[in-house]
Structure 1
Amino acid sequence: MRRLKLLGMALILSGLLAGCAQPEGKSAPATAKSTVEAAPSVHTDAPPESAPPLKLPLEEIQGHIKNVHYADEDHVLIAADKLYLYDFATGRIIAETSDEGIQSIHRGEDGYEAVRATFDPVSKSGGGIAGGAPAYSMIFYDSGLVKQSEFSPRSLLSEEERMISPESIAFSADGKRAAYATDQGLYLYDFKKEQQTTLIDLGQTDLANLKKRSGIVAFERLGFTNEDRDLAFTAQSFDIPPIDGKSSFSTCGTVHGDGSSLTNQTFESFSCRELINYDKVVLFAEDLDFTAPSGKLLVMKMPGGKPKFLSLTEAGESRFVSGSDKGGSFATALADRTDWKVRIYDTNTGKLEKELRIPNDGDKRYMAQVPIVKLLDEKRLYIVLVGAKSPDVQTNVVMGQF
């Protein structure tokens, strides 16, 4: 995360899939390797006769597995050289499309909405800046991953305005609206009306306007919540009045979809970093680079945004948090010499539900990047991708139930 002296700043890839539910504690996790050069090997312990086996159709996946994205209760999206739609019922890939530089994707009412990053040598309005900075656009697919349309807000922004990052773009649950942040403001776009609305203007830097927006100088991450009525965010903010020589600091909060009722909060011994949004709750993990970990996770109940903290087993876990598909659980990942410790918690109670240890198989490169963890609440299924962020190693896929 970058610090701002005045204004400025700037997703992650992973992937794999899983099969059907098994009785808890009755079988060991399934593991697999994925690579471009050779067909990945698959190792699974046979489940009890009463439960269907985990199915891993890795032979159908081309290239390095980079990410898994949530789709719905019966499907996940697997990002590799292509984007694949995996069906749990059949254990097969049922659709695929080109990757197109997709950074994030989610299921809406009519299909899927994705954020794409492309690199332009010279990018003028809204997407990036000269010199190869990324430009962002939104791609719409039907339920079979057939591309329907593409939208870029660049033409709606000023000549020198730039978008911040993939995390600063969010879709409403139904996919009918999108929110996005630039270095000049926070905007809402209605696709049906083809209308952009400015929610928060960051272009006015005088003290009165800074106070009006609670010291915010940049929005970093966005997510819809409270039945799409509100936006949750993390931001960079200044003191009011600004203190000469003091850098901006991390804050988080919510704002109504019409730009009203802005709340921007800081917490003692906790600095907001990652945002994981759901309809009734928003999770905030800690700042990765600039604070000592507290071992807590910030949870805001919606509506209202009332904060509470959940205590984790170890302090360092609070920097690396992954949310489930429905928000009923979350996972943490923490390195321990030659192993990754992955813990799964209940979001409502904070109770530890499962702990995994995933060895690095004697290859230190697997410890270089934090694993990607996905949790499917209804299936009680976890998918852990070790090495997905490092293209020079095979992705180690670990699957099981919690």
Structure 2
Amino acid sequence: MKKTSCITLALLFTLALSACGKTDSPVPAVSGNAPSDTPAVSVPAPDEQPGQSPSSCTFDPALFGGKLQSCAYAGNGTLLVLADKLYLYDTGTSSVLATAEAPLRDFEAQAIDGGYVLSGMGDSGMMAYIYDSSLSLNKEIAVEELLQGDFVVSETGGVAASTDGKKLAFAAMGGLYLYDLESGNLTTLLDMAQNAGTASISVSMLNGAAFAQDNSQIVFFGSGNSIPVVDGEEGFSLHGSISVEGSGLKLTKLSDYEMEEMQSSVSRLFFPQAFTQANGTLLWIDRATGSANTLSFSASGEGKDGVYGSEQGNYVATAVLDGSLTVRVYDVASGELLATEVMEDSDSTYFNRIPRIYLLDEAKTAVVVLGGSISEVDTLVSTFEFGA
């Protein structure tokens, strides 16, 4: 199935509502004051409550001030929207649940019990902010001060939060650390200065981490070298796991797969390849069991222009940029291609940088943000449905 929508140049805040529910076709972005045959608002079912995985989705840009830059999953169909400030937005009811001053220009967000953890680079290095469910700031952590000499360089996965909100993990240059938020204790799980690794693999760099298996394990990725050294072999990508007690270290060498980042969803961890090495496959790990699997895309080079996991981890989208934007959505469990959406605009600037794509599992809806990181153009937002 292939459908096409055209994105017209228009100010974000003159866009009509992009509404989506259980309809037969996706809803394209709508320009200015042009009439639309789509309903203005998706009305939730009578027993549907905000933040409870709604089966319908509405994205209303008019509710946000300033330039919309990006979003992040906030759990159960809600999004954290970064614009002139930080908004907690419910896509099922099309309402803003809370607002706060934006602590960072760009951030990674993780939903925890009773709130959220936001992390990203501030003026003094990596920062972590812990909010409650109403976006009231509970704790601010300057990670480099906490690590006393070590520092986190990865903005994606450099700071990981346990789902119960009691612990943080830091993947830093010098090692992997576990921080107990209740006691304030900092534990070193892997020490690079002490030749961290196993009998056959040494870890040379850590790029990201995430909690798994009911917060008992930490999964991480980075690079390493063989022990003993193999003639002519360069460093390779690896992923591994270790218990929060520091035992049971496991490492897996990836000879022909170079990981660029780690994306966390509720059920899965996704590891997109470096764009120069993308070969049309995606490595992912089951957070409940720790098992590793591979998803194959439709084309051999697909994935180099962006890979995007869904909120729950059931779906993955890819972006293909070639004078326009083609978005393909896949079912992770079956590998089935569910939808293909082509987006075009007369201003090619929108396709010079990878988009932001957010997939809402229950509503089976993709929210595509174009130009959010490009200061000279207005942000454009489009939504479309995928799956049955």
The bucket for the TM-score relative to the shorter chain is: 0.7 to 0.9
Does residue 318 of the first structure (1) align with residue 321 of the second (2)?
no
Q: Please, which of 159, 163, 172 is the counterpart of residue 152 of structure 2?
A: 163
**8 Å CA contact 2:236, 2:255 repeated in 1:** no
Quickly say closer, same or farther: Cα 1:241–1:210, change in 2 above 3 A: farther
**Map of 2:317 onto structure 1:** 331
Distance 2:287 2:330 in 1: 20
TM-score, L = length of structure 2: 0.83
**8 Å CA contact 1:29, 1:45 repeated in 2:** no
Describe the superposition over 1:24-52 as per-residue Cα deviations: whole angstroms up to 9, x where unpaired.
424x423168xxxxxxx477843379964
Distance 2:58 2:154 in 1: 35
SS of the residue 1:274 aligns to = coil
Does residue 154 of the first structure (1) align with residue 144 of the second (2)?
yes
Quickly say closer, same or farther: Cα 1:50–1:279, change in 2 above 3 A: closer
Does residue 223 of the first structure (1) align with residue 210 of the second (2)?
yes
Greater alpha carbon shift after TM alignment, 260-269 vs 101-110: 260-269
**8 Å CA contact 1:18, 1:383 repeated in 2:** no
Q: How many residues align?
A: 357
Does residue 287 of the first structure (1) align with residue 274 of the second (2)?
yes
| Pairwise CA distance, 1:149 | 2.0
**Map of 2:355 onto structure 1:** 371
Q: Please, which of 175, 180, 201 is the counterpart of residue 165 of structure 2?
A: 175
Does residue 80 of the first structure (1) align with residue 83 of the second (2)?
yes
For residue 301 of structure 1, what is the amino acid of its counterpart? Answer: D
Quickly say closer, same or farther: Cα 1:50–1:69, change in 2 above 3 A: closer
**Map of 2:346 onto structure 1:** 362
**Map of 1:344 onto structure 2:** 329
**8 Å CA contact 2:18, 2:382 repeated in 1:** no
Quickly say closer, same or farther: Cα 1:339–1:155, change in 2 above 3 A: closer
Q: Aligned ranges for residues 60-139 of structure 1 at < 5 Å?
A: 60-101=63-104, 102-120=106-124, 135-139=125-129
Describe the superposition over 1:342-391 as per-residue Cα deviations: whole angstroms up to 9, x where unpaired.
111111111111111011x1222112111111001011111011122222
Distance 1:312 1:176 in 2: 37
Distance 2:181 2:40 in 1: 50
SS of the residue 2:194 aligns to = coil
| Pairwise CA distance, 1:330 | 1.0
Quickly say closer, same or farther: Cα 1:104–1:50, change in 2 above 3 A: closer
Distance 2:17 2:170 in 1: 32
Describe the superposition over 1:145-195 as per-residue Cα deviations: whole angstroms up to 9, x where unpaired.
122221233343233x22222221111112211100221110011111211
For residue 348 of structure 2, what is the amino acid of its counterpart? Answer: K
Unaligned residue ranges in structure 2 (runs of 5+) = 1-14, 44-55
Distance 2:223 2:35 in 1: 45
Quickly say closer, same or farther: Cα 1:212–1:183, change in 2 above 3 A: farther
Quickly say closer, same or farther: Cα 1:288–1:63, change in 2 above 3 A: same
**8 Å CA contact 2:20, 2:383 repeated in 1:** no
For residue 117 of structure 2, what is the amino acid of its counterpart? Answer: E
For residue 88 of structure 1, what is the amino acid of its counterpart? Answer: T
Distance 2:319 2:151 in 1: 33
**Map of 1:127 onto structure 2:** none
Unaligned residue ranges in structure 1 (runs of 5+) = 1-15, 34-40, 121-134
Cα-Cα RMSD? 2.8
Distance 1:32 1:97 in 2: 29
Does residue 31 of the first structure (1) align with residue 29 of the second (2)?
yes
Distance 1:78 1:138 in 2: 17
Greater alpha carbon shift after TM alignment, 55-64 vs 244-253: 244-253
Identity of aligned residues (%): 26
| Pairwise CA distance, 1:303 | 4.6
Distance 2:281 2:221 in 1: 17
SS of the residue 1:71 aligns to = strand
**8 Å CA contact 2:18, 2:30 repeated in 1:** no
Describe the superposition over 1:29-80 as per-residue Cα deviations: whole angstroms up to 9, x where unpaired.
23168xxxxxxx4778433799649644323322221111111224211111
Greater alpha carbon shift after TM alignment, 49-58 vs 173-182: 49-58
Quickly say closer, same or farther: Cα 1:329–1:210, change in 2 above 3 A: closer
Distance 1:169 1:391 in 2: 27
For residue 22 of structure 1, what is the amino acid of its counterpart? Answer: G
TM-score, L = length of structure 1: 0.80
Q: Aligned ranges for residues 247-326 of structure 1 at < 5 Å?
A: 247-278=234-265, 280-289=267-276, 291=277, 293-319=278-304, 320-326=306-312
Describe the superposition over 1:204-245 as per-residue Cα deviations: whole angstroms up to 9, x where unpaired.
24xxx5545831111102122222222222202122234578
SS of the residue 1:366 aligns to = helix
**Map of 1:383 onto structure 2:** 367
Greater alpha carbon shift after TM alignment, 297-306 vs 90-99: 297-306
Describe the superposition over 1:110-137 as per-residue Cα deviations: whole angstroms up to 9, x where unpaired.
21211142114xxxxxxxxxxxxxx112
**8 Å CA contact 2:18, 2:28 repeated in 1:** no
Distance 1:17 1:166 in 2: 33
**Map of 1:10 onto structure 2:** none
Quickly say closer, same or farther: Cα 1:304–1:107, change in 2 above 3 A: closer
Distance 2:181 2:16 in 1: 32
SS of the residue 2:303 aligns to = helix
For residue 28 of structure 2, what is the amino acid of its counterpart? Answer: A
Distance 2:255 2:234 in 1: 17
For residue 202 of structure 1, what is the amino acid of its counterpart? Answer: M
SS of the residue 2:302 aligns to = helix
Describe the superposition over 1:282-340 as per-residue Cα deviations: whole angstroms up to 9, x where unpaired.
32221223x2x22111233345533332211012223321111111111111113x211
